[in-house]
Amino acid sequence: MQRSTAQVEGDTVAYRVIQWATGGVGRAAIEGILRHPDLDLVGCWVHSADKVGRDVGEIVGQGPIGVLATDDPEAVYALDADCVVYAPLMPDKREVARLLESGKNVVTPLGWFRPTEADARMETTARDAGVTLHGTGIDPGGITDLFPLALSVMTSAATFVRAEEFSDMRGYNAPDVLRWVMCFGATPDEAKVGPMLKMLTGGFTQSLRLILDGMGFDPTAEIRTDHQIAVATAMIDSPMGVIEPGRVAAQRFQWDAVVGETTVARVAVNWLIGEEDLDPAWTLGDAGERFEVEIKGDPDQLVTFKGFQAARPEDGWDRNPGIVATANHLVNSIPYVCRAEPGIKTYLDLPLMAGRAHPDLAPKPS
């Protein structure tokens, strides 16, 4: 039987939630938790020393809520809670395992979209503790797997599935990540051996495998990767500073699932620092920033998603819609994950999940 410490308030089950890390996703998740009628924020782990001991409400720009941030992981492991939103910059499997061992469900945008053989120990850990681990997000973990699967119900005899992002990275106010992790502003040779392709491949490969599983494609499909680069032809201003001519100013990462020599599924991201002064002369296309899901079959589908990128790059600096969407997906999944059977659960294992109405438009407590 799954362990639950959820508190009943009237007819509503309030799940006790801990937020792990307060970067962009973490801050937006806290906002979502505080608005969600079925959730109660009871703890928060932070990385920065200047946040330790501060009220979490004040960290996210709201009034005090009576929950203080800590940088002590042992205090978090010991805290009585139902679920942890685990959202640091990089995952640590030992931390996730300890959270599960402490009897807490975990939702995270950092992997575990579809378990592999390498996750066997984590699966056992979750089952033994009677809790659930669920990977979710936006890209990967949403646009690149959940949405194609949901839309595919309207097509028969599918032959090809594509999920693709087109983004202007000037709206992503994370200069250290842009420069040192994503390698914008580096030389092409430096970017080719940088960490980004390896980091992304795990998540996007899991998304592809989830599509193959869910739609009945040959599971032995080979996953092929591709990384293309465009360089600046003039100085380009960006959140991380000026990108010099000859340095990386746009990148395209692509993963294909291939059966024989037929590509049956593809996920890709197109990240540009603006659309000017690039070689090759890439653009986002007439449709601008967007996400696309395409399915070839009977009939074909092409669905464009707007709203997950800011109207103007500068509008995304304080509150990036894609970051908020990632956080909301995590938060809204919590009640479903807490009610799930123990283990690592994918979208194929969980029921249809939904967000919640604005508090002003929800039923009033009796």
The three-state secondary structure class of 145 is: coil
Taking the domains of the chain in order of start, what are their residue ranges?
Answer: 7-137+324-361, 146-307
Residue 35 has pLDDT above 90, yes or no: yes
Q: What is the pLDDT of residue 238?
A: 87
Q: Look up the pTM and report it.
A: 0.92
Query: In CATH, which superfamily holds the domain spanning 7-137+324-361?
Result: NAD(P)-binding Rossmann-like Domain (3.40.50.720)
* Calpha distance 101→299 (Å, rounded): 47
Tell me how many degrees the CA angle 216-218-219 measures, rounded to the nearest 5: 95
* Calpha distance 19→48 (Å, rounded): 14
The string of pLDDT tens digits covering residues 236-245 is 998 889 999 9
* Calpha distance 17→335 (Å, rounded): 10
Tell me, rounded to whole angstroms, the distance of Cα 7 from its chain centroid. Answer: 28
Give percent of the chain above pLDDT 70. 96
The string of pLDDT tens digits covering residues 273-321 is 999 999 999 999 999 999 999 999 999 999 999 999 998 888 888 889 9
